[in-house]
Structure 1
Amino acid sequence: MKTLIWQDIRFQWKHGFYVVYAIITIFYLVLLSFVPKHWLDAAAAAVIFTDPTMLGFFFIGAIILFEKDQGILRPLSVSPLLRRNYVLAKVLSLLVLTILSSTVIHLGAAGFPKNTVLFIMAVSLSSIFFTLTGLIVSIFLSSVNQYLLAGALVITLLYVPLVDFFPPLSHPLWHAFPARAAVNGLYPAASEIPAVVSLAVMLLWGTAAYAVACICSKRLVGGIR
């Protein structure tokens, strides 16, 4: 398992993922430097939700499609590799990049989070869910163009619960969906619902996505469980 995670991190480093996100992180820090101080916590949370926690969704598609194109998956399909280990390695390796970027953005723009443990958990659970969702989508596609189109549709659907921020459309049920729960976890002041409830919602969605990803990944790597 450790070997798989390390291999994925090396792959991401070699192909410039970390360089790209270092540049993006600096860009956001510059952008947030113009935000009034009393809006910084909310602005930092918005940036982290819409980008670092979502990076896994887009990067995993590129990774899976690259592995398909290069024939990397064929040897894995006849190996004793556990599907769950393959899925976890992909998710956890991208989680490292998400946590690094999110932490630097928050520290650089708004200082330490009011609750560091809550912040890390919210970032982690959000990233895990969105990365798993991207993995599931990419399994059934064969090109980057297909993934970009399908990904845009999926993200649009996932973002629908954010209409909760518009009073005429707000409703407590929106908090049962991952995007709204993720925002509340990253910025608890955005809702009267306790952040721990939002984390529980994200955990449930993440667990379900993980189960589906493990089943669907049989199309990629075969293996057992």
Structure 2
Amino acid sequence: MKRLAASLWLDFRLQFRNGFYYAAAFVTVVAIVIFRQFPNLDFKWLLPALLLNNLLVGTFYFFGGLVLLEKKEGTLEALIVTPIRTWEYLLSKVVTLTALAILENVVFVIFVYGFDFKPLLLVLGISLSAAIFCLFGFIAVARYDSINEYLFPSVLYTAVMSLVFLNYFGLWESWLFYLHPLQAPLLLLKSAFSPLKNWQVIYGLLYSALSVGLIFLLSQKMFYRFIIKKEGVR
């Protein structure tokens, strides 16, 4: 527990020192200013998709940026020989980035939409979405050492993750989308603003938790393969 607490503190300092919190605050303020110019938009319908899109940058790309930064500074290699466990390293970043995501997105919702939402479902939707994005962010970046190598593969990852928007906006409706790991947290976000059937909320909670667990295990394997063993590192 002490190792995890120390890792959380180090990650907080790293993110603060490199301007992640300033960047998040700036983007949030700009987004609030822009969307407050359109009070007639159907935010109850639009917000879940907006939030999921916001989380993509604040978690997936922030996580990737942190890993690349640590590789460049040699911090990641140094961590390998310390007592810190792989799961503690991953969990620390997921927790700190998720906390930031909750703060910035709840503030965004309040200033753009008001308080007419279910706080618990909103926080759960943001948290589970952020965790999935964070872990996919690590998987996407694990084998790369530079932003140039990482950039194109990251776009492919985001394209696949964004497929849920096809179903959400009615462009392609299929039950297959319920197998997509982000469909479940997207439904939770939707349930924070609009009533859904009980089975949809239960599915959102259980499938999101299952997705986080499985992707976390995969992330640990990727850490061992590309960070510790350095297989195929580019």
Q: Structure 1: which amino acid aligns with 2:128?
A: L
Unaligned ranges ≥5, structure 2? 230-234
Q: Using the alignment, how far apart are the partners of 1:113 and 1:195 within structure 2? A: 18
Q: Using the alignment, how far apart are the partners of 2:47 and 2:169 within structure 1? A: 20
Q: Which of 218, 223, 229 pairs up with 1:217? A: 223
* 2:129 aligned with 1:126: yes
Count of equivalent residues: 222
How far is 1:40 from its partner?
2.1
Q: Which of 31, 44, 60 pairs up with 2:34? A: 31
**Structure 1 residues 169 and 45, CA, compared in 2 at 3 Å: closer, same or farther?**
closer
Of the structure 1 ranges 7-16 and 73-82, higher mean CA displacement relative to structure 2 is found in 73-82
Does structure 2 conserve the Cα–Cα contact (< 8 Å) formed by 1:73 and 1:221? no
TM-score normalised to structure 2 length: 0.87
Counterpart mapping for 1:74-93 below 5 A: 74-93=77-96
Of the structure 1 ranges 117-126 and 151-160, higher mean CA displacement relative to structure 2 is found in 151-160
* 2:67 aligned with 1:60: no
**Structure 1 residues 160 and 147, CA, compared in 2 at 3 Å: closer, same or farther?**
same
Per-residue deviation, residues 3-38 of structure 1 (Å, max 9, x unmatched):
111110111111111111111001111122123356
Q: Which of 41, 50, 53 pairs up with 2:53? A: 50
Q: Using the alignment, how far apart are the partners of 2:200 and 2:179 within structure 1? A: 13
Q: Using the alignment, how far apart are the partners of 1:164 and 1:190 within structure 2? A: 18
TM-score normalised to structure 1 length: 0.90
Q: Using the alignment, how far apart are the partners of 2:161 and 2:127 within structure 1? A: 17
Q: Structure 1: which amino acid aligns with 2:220?
A: C
Per-residue deviation, residues 78-98 of structure 1 (Å, max 9, x unmatched):
222211101101111111110
Q: Structure 1: which amino acid aligns with 2:114?
A: G
Match of 1:202 in 2: 208
Q: Using the alignment, how far apart are the partners of 1:175 and 1:113 within structure 2? A: 27
Of the structure 1 ranges 100-109 and 191-200, higher mean CA displacement relative to structure 2 is found in 191-200
Q: What SS is found at the alignment partner of 2:42?
A: helix
Q: Using the alignment, how far apart are the partners of 2:59 and 2:170 within structure 1? A: 31
Of the structure 1 ranges 165-174 and 175-184, higher mean CA displacement relative to structure 2 is found in 165-174
Per-residue deviation, residues 143-179 of structure 1 (Å, max 9, x unmatched):
1122221111011012223322455630123122123
Q: CA RMSD in A?
A: 2.0
* 2:13 aligned with 1:7: no
